[in-house]
Amino acid sequence: MKGIKGRGDRIFLAVCYTVLALLAAVIIFPVLNLIAVSVSAQTPVVSGRVRFWPVGFQTDAYRYVMQSRQFFNSLLVSLFVTFAGSFLAVACSVLVAYPLSKKNIPGRKTLLLVFIFTMMFSGGIIPSYLLIMKMKMINSVWSLILPQLVNVYNLLIVKNYMETLPEALEESAKMDGAGQLRILWSIVLPMAKPVLATVFMFFVVSYWNSYFDAKMYITKRELMPIQQYLQAVIFEAQSPAGDYGLASEATNLASQSIINATVVCAMTPMLLLYPALQKFFAKGTTVGAVKG
Amino acid sequence: MEKKKRMTWGQMKREGYLELYLMMVPVLIVLFIFKYIPMNGILIAFEDFNIFDGIFGSRFVGFENFARMFADHDFLRALGNTFTINLYKMCYYIPLPIILALLMNEVGKRFGSCIQTVVYLPHFLSWVIVGGIFVNMLSVNGGLVNEMIKSLGGSPIRFLYDSKYFIHVLAFSAMWKEVGWGSIVYLGAIGAIDQEIYEAARVDGASRLQQMFRITVPNLTPTIVLMTLMSLSNILGNSFEQVLIMYNPAVYDVGDVINTYVYRIGVNNMQYGYASAVGLFNGLVGFLFLTVSNALCRKFLDRSIW
């Protein structure tokens, strides 16, 4: 501790605490308001009386969202893309990170450059779109998985971590005649678990939150992932049940309540993961400071 | 070095290198297909591209697409907006996370980690969800912000549909989402400062405020420069998804950025050649910014971005 001396320090600290508390309030209040509106009755919502606590409590908005087939479809698509994508992506990261973590492998520099170059320059949106079209992957979930499969940033994190692992075990396994695949699987991967978990989380967040690929490649409603569905509900006044037009004259709910309930449902998975995420991400920033 | 290059097949096999190369092949194929093939945009940009004739059958038009670009009012507007929006955002995004980190460094551990839990959270929410949160706050039918304006005697503002306010909504929501996350790198740098310096300063009777400005801030300078250069290097690519989700035709004049423009003329209007040209321009300028930033980093900080 840096100690507190005199009145000046005390005032200074009081200012620090106050500013931070205010900032936390600015961040948390919009979320509280979102939730409060989602469980409040129509009249208080429309007349703007709902602050951070529900007024005229109801849960019909959630029932309404839960009854929507479209919502569950989107949830399933997103879950599939997120988990299939993250597993494959981690596998890809490992398959490159391990060879490139060998300092003496010929061509290492060139191969690294081939990967890093794609971080610096890309062909742009349209050529990627034309490619997916040409490959007949429009309206296929694979168009949401494959283009993001190789992530150079994550790959470098895994590579850097593997470089710090002791080589003695690998060497002795090699003496015993184990192949590289075997060494990778039974010696390197178990040691690399922390970094693999971290990178897996990175991929989960990025697949779950990704929006633009679906906006380009998915036009069929039953294949929309959750973010795209949500965008339609929030910004295009599509009713959560899946029909266009205003939400619900029949349900006695403010349409804002239904929209908010949909948003809350879509952010719940991230909120549930958040404790684990915070741990992993904090570690991730220390585990592999990226450097080629 | 020389010896490594002349390694024989036998040696490569004995060292297990062949197996290692084979491991990389599937990933290299994926990389080639999804990252390198789209670089054919460099060709498409010079063509009057249509899908049926393909890249090698479409009519070659030279620099026509580029000439059109610089006469295109909508493109120039998008170019200007991209710079304006991102520079405006940087006015917040550079200083605020630094201030946040400095404050968090002063408060107690328990309180600090509570604050961290709160301020990191929005980073994990998607732009769509952040958009939803702000639509709810800014709604004219009972949204919290407009209720406050009304109770102060003002008239409600349609923030998301008003060119005067849209850029502020973009900057504020981006800040709301990322300020906490942005502070992590500075907290890390603060953690690496030698504690004995503070001790010595305290013995000399320095106040907390003096310690912050005389010790912490100077030690953060390299990190601040690095982060500034990194944001500059990405000045064309930033904000795309956020704008795409939050904008609407009413605010195109201030909100349309290069990538949203490319998306509209390409995917919606199917002007593939022209859209690729704009995209290529964007990619090349982005590449230039990145290279220059990196060179500056190397020169002044002895570090590189990649």
Hey, are the CB atoms on B142 and A256 less than 8 Å from each other?
A: yes
Structure tokens at B57: 């059958």
Cβ atoms of B131 and B246 within 8 Å: the answer is yes
Nearest residue of B to residue A107 by CA position?
B5
The tokens describing B66, both together, are: 């580029």
Domain boundaries, chain A: 1-58, 64-292
Question: pLDDT-derived band of residue A283, with 50, 70 and 90 as boundaries?
Answer: low
The per-residue pLDDT for range B152-186, each reduced to its tens digit, is 998 999 999 999 999 999 999 999 999 999 999 99
Q: Which residue of A has its CA nearest to B233?
A: A120
pLDDT tens sequence across B65-98: 999 999 999 999 999 999 999 999 999 999 999 9
Q: Which of B126, B208, B284 sits opposite A227 (nearest CB)?
A: B126
> How far A215 CA sits from the closest chain B CA (Å)?
10
Q: How far apart are CA A36 and CA A38, in angstroms?
A: 5
- List Cα–Cα distances, A224 to A141, A151, A203, A238, B246, in angstroms: 9, 23, 19, 13, 19
Q: What is the pLDDT of residue A238?
A: 60
Q: What is the model's pLDDT at position B275?
A: 96
Kindly tell me if the per-residue pLDDT of A15 is higher than 90: yes
How far does A255 lie from chain B, in Å, by closest CA? 10
Residue linked to tokens 């296929």: A140
Nearest CA in chain A to B205: A5
| Cβ contact A118–B31 (<8 Å) | yes
Contact A256 B136 (CB under 8 A): yes
Q: Mean pLDDT, to the nearest integer, of A89-98?
A: 97
Please tell me the number of Cα atoms within 13 Å of A78 on its side-chain side.
26
pLDDT score of B54 more than 80: yes
Q: How confident is the model at residue A155 (pLDDT cuts 50, 70, 90)?
A: very high
Binning pLDDT at 50, 70 and 90, where does residue B1 land? Answer: very low
- Predicted confidence at residue A288, as pLDDT, reads 42
User: What pLDDT is attached to residue A190?
Assistant: 92
Query: Cβ of A131 and B33 within 8 Å?
Result: yes
Average per-residue pLDDT for chain B? 90
Domains annotated for chain B, with CATH where assigned, are 60-301 (1.10.3720.10)
Residues on chain A touching B282 (C-beta within 8 angstroms): 124
Residue A126: which of B41, B139, B184 has the nearest Cβ? B41
**Least confident piece of the model among A13-27, A73-87, A226-240, B156-170:** A226-240
- pLDDT at res. B117: 92
- CA neighbor of B236 nearest in space, from B166, B298, B290: B290
Class of domain A64-292: mainly alpha
Residues 6+ apart with CB under 8 A from B100: A20, A23, B119, B179, B180, B182, B183, B186
pLDDT digits (tens, 9 = 90+) for B91-110: 999 999 999 999 999 998 89
**Residue B244: what pLDDT?**
93
Q: What is the pTM of this model?
A: 0.90
Indicate yes or no: CB of B267 within 8 angstroms of CB of A3: no
| pLDDT reading at A281 higher than 80 | no
Closest residue in B to A233 (Cα–Cα): B132
Instruction: Report the share of chain A in percent with pLDDT over 70.
Output: 90
Sign, Cα dihedral of A246, A248, A254, A255: negative
Q: How many CB atoms neighbour CB A228 within 10 A?
A: 23
- Predicted confidence (pLDDT) at residue B5 exceeds the cutoff of 70: no
